[in-house]
Amino acid sequence: MPDFLTAEFWQEYGTLLGQATIETLVMVASSTVIAYAVGILLAVVLKLTESGGLKPQPVLNAVLGWVVNMGRSLPFIILLIILIPFTRMIAGTIVGIRGAIVPLAVCAIPFVARMVESSFSEVRPGCIEAAQAFGASTMQIVFRVFLPESLPSLIRGAAITCITLVGYAAMAGAVGAGGLGDVAIRYGYYRYQGGVMFASIVVLIIVVQLIQSLFDLVARRIDKR
């Protein structure tokens, strides 16, 4: 029997893995909230200023789209290093949970912006035209048409974002960010304790499955189509 399936293993490492799981969830949840706060704003601007949008601004749309695409093209591990001065300035440290949240959020913002923009594009033009016919302002259309009509898609996109950030948070553990990735590296790799590494992987798989199931359930509940 593998050692990570024994009671002795969990007596020795259960508390460590439990704390690491909480750290991973805190990093993912915090960075997701920040990424959506900024990403939705960027998505709204991209959607409104696109050709045929409510406020077409081709130059602004092109520049902002280029910035978002550039952010999406950077590998996370490189972004993690590039952002070290910025992370230290914002969080006061580059290690631990606080040091991981900043690069995780920055990495997720352009990804979220494109995901939300794609969700907005699924809104039926007839809904927008009806709102305009009733004299709704641009902001009213955003808050009363785009966001409510695209909510199921937004929730499914949030699941993808969270799961992606779980992987990035584990990767950040290699540079002292804490969480399950840190435990897998410090104990599983450096100390040659394969059971700890396998247990960390199993916990990560369970976390991902729970996140996907939860968001799918919420999306189905609110989808009235």
Q: What is the pLDDT of residues 40-60, one digit of tens each?
A: 999 999 999 998 888 999 999
Domain regions of the chain by residue span = 3-222
- Under CATH, what is the fold of the domain 3-222? MetI-like fold (1.10.3720)
pLDDT digits (tens, 9 = 90+) for 52-111: 888 999 999 999 999 999 998 888 888 888 998 999 999 888 888 888 999 999 999 999
Range 25-37 average pLDDT = 95
Torsion-angle region of residue 199: left (phi > 0), alpha (psi -120 to 50) or beta?
alpha
